[in-house]
Amino acid sequence: MKKLSLQLVAFFSLFNANAQSGTLTKNILLDAMFDSNIPLAGYVSELSNNSNELKIDSSNSAPYALVAGGSKGIGYAIAEALAKRKYNLILIARHADSLIAAKNKLESAYQVHVEILVHDLALEESAVEIAQWCIERDIPLKLLFNVAGFGGTQDYLSLPLDTLRYMVRLNVESAITLTYALLPLLEKNAPSYILNVASMAGFAPIPVKNIYSATKSAVIFFSYSLRYQLRDRGISVSCLSPGPVFTKPEIVKDTKDKLGWFGMKMAVPPKRVGEIAVRKTLKKRMMIVPGTLATITAFIIRILPRRVIVSIYDKVGKKQ
């Protein structure tokens, strides 16, 4: 029984790490670095041509939520759950087309204001530029969601250093710098909320996913500490650590191939993840793991000794 539960834990957790972005790791990096459609710096939005003229509609006093990585996947689902609750939104991503599509859908369905900013969050200057944009306009910002991140299926020992640096910058540095840069505004609009998106892969070391699990573990530790640091300032900090979420066809395929029916049962649809993330963030929950099976799996991973779980991950990882 014990052996079986250990195998299940290892299997699910490894899958979670693998499922992250399928084989997209390299492509995303190359996209970000070379795709001319992706502005590597600066803001571009429907307002970009006259950004100094942007005025927040004073007749609409609803507070704003900023979703970093809010055009697709879990970030979009979070944005939708916020729009349902009548929060105005600032969405950030690299591609203008998906941002515009998200804005149009949300504005027409929920009658909220959606501002869009094109930024590569992995770039050093992005956090300060985004915060400056918000501060100059005195945005009534009450919620910050650090969602953007990526993983991959390759052995990280074989990845180029630039790819690893990009992962660390996006998964860890962008969440930390955006949080710090926006703290003055969040404090001004307190009570306010921060949600950092980690992963179940952050609960234990995963040899074949060394850097990904390390970055997500950093996000978890950062969130726990920050929660204590900010509790007297009226800012609540939460951390979302999902298992598999079907945001891309590759993740569905990986789930079927590696976990079969149980994996399909454990996966939580993006829309539900977004809803749970927003509801529990507003309830000031620290750790949020959507789905019952994922919650049980996460619990077991967290109580197992590290040397046990890491060796299970290693064995299971080598079989694939």
Ligand X SMILES: NC(=O)c1ccc[n+]([C@@H]2O[C@H](COP(=O)([O-])OP(=O)(O)OC[C@H]3O[C@@H](n4cnc5c(N)ncnc54)[C@H](OP(=O)(O)O)[C@@H]3O)[C@@H](O)[C@H]2O)c1
The residues of the shown chain that bind ligand X, judged by CB under 6 A, are 16, 19-20, 32, 69-75, 92-95, 98, 119-122, 147-149, 151, 170, 197, 199, 242, 244-245, 247, 251
For residues 60 and 56, what is the distance between their CA atoms, to the nearest angstrom? Answer: 8
For residues 129 and 137, what is the distance between their CA atoms, to the nearest angstrom? Answer: 13
Q: Can you list the alpha helix ranges (DSSP code H) found in the chain?
A: 2-19, 24-34, 73-84, 96-110, 126-136, 161-168, 174-188, 210-230, 249-266, 270-282, 292-303, 306-319
- Shortest distance in whole angstroms from residue 232 CB to ligand X: 29
CB-wise, 138 or 162, nearer to ligand X? 162
* Residue in the block written with tokens 């992995």: 122
- Shortest distance in whole angstroms from residue 175 CB to ligand X: 9
For residues 108 and 48, what is the distance between their CA atoms, to the nearest angstrom? Answer: 21
- The conformation of residue 303, written as its DSSP 8-state character, comes to H
CA angle 32/35/38 to nearest 5° reads: 65
For residues 20 and 167, what is the distance between their CA atoms, to the nearest angstrom? Answer: 12
- Shortest distance in whole angstroms from residue 289 CB to ligand X: 10
- Shortest distance in whole angstroms from residue 225 CB to ligand X: 19
CB-wise, 189 or 199, nearer to ligand X? 199
Tokens of 183: 């703290």
CB-wise, 124 or 138, nearer to ligand X? 124
CB-wise, 151 or 207, nearer to ligand X? 151
CB-wise, 91 or 312, nearer to ligand X? 91
CB-wise, 216 or 227, nearer to ligand X? 216
For residue 160, cis peptide bond before it (omega within 30 degrees of 0):
no
- Shortest distance in whole angstroms from residue 38 CB to ligand X: 7
- Shortest distance in whole angstroms from residue 137 CB to ligand X: 20
Q: Treating both helix axes as pointing N-terminal to C-terminal, what angle do 2-19 and 306-319 enclose, rounded to 10 degrees?
A: 70
For residues 59 and 229, what is the distance between their CA atoms, to the nearest angstrom? Answer: 35
